[in-house]
Amino acid sequence: MKQKFFAFFKRFGKFFRYNLKNCLLLFLTFFKIGAFTFGGGLAMIPFIERETAEKHKWIDKEDLLDIVVIAESTPGPIAINAATFVGYKTAGVLGSACATFGVVLPSFLIILLLSFCLDKVVALKPVAYALWGIRAGVLALIAKSFWSLFKSSKKNVFSIIMMILAFLAVSIFKLDVIIVVASAAVLGIAAYFISKKGGEKK
């Protein structure tokens, strides 16, 4: 009985240390993502992909695509949703909390510091030019995100038509993004049931 107890305690200790190490790594990784990525959620996707899918192998690229889809159709930024998902998949609830806190903390600290001197900083010409440069860089990151997601997504006639219609609805007809995403989800479900019904008839 005593040997079983010590064996269980030893296994639990190893699991706890492993989990704690993963939680710390999750926090540091997403802290770096939050601190050094500019331009919001879409611009963060290449960085998130490199750190979580390529470097640490916590998720694969299909998981990242699912995260982006969920983030765009539910409340919350992509980076926070990605941190929550990856953290939970890697180290459970504690990992989810550490990753989410890690990605949020840099923005909170930077905005807190800027709030004391924002007017003076923005008025400086070097800062204004730096912001223009950052905007150009962010545009490139968003384009990279689009291409990466486009390559990893499943493509068929329906998905391409939906992509074109969604782009036209947002860019030309100025429809609300929420309406476009909700409509795309409804049409996707309808297409699934139609294709399923057609398959059953065959």
pLDDT tens for each residue of 60-114: 877 877 877 777 666 777 788 888 888 888 888 888 999 999 999 998 898 888 7
Whether the model pTM is above 0.85: no
In terms of Cα–Cα distance, which of 92, 31, 35, 20 is closest to 58? 92
How far apart, in whole angstroms, are the C-alpha atoms of residue 95 and residue 189?
33
Q: Which residues of the chain have pLDDT under 70?
A: 1-18, 38-41, 72-74, 122, 198-202
How far apart, in whole angstroms, are the C-alpha atoms of residue 9 and residue 1?
12
- The answer for 31, left when phi > 0, alpha when psi is -120 to 50, beta otherwise, is alpha
pLDDT of residue 78: 78
pLDDT of residue 100: 92
How far apart, in whole angstroms, are the C-alpha atoms of residue 14 and residue 18?
6
How far apart, in whole angstroms, are the C-alpha atoms of residue 186 and residue 119?
45
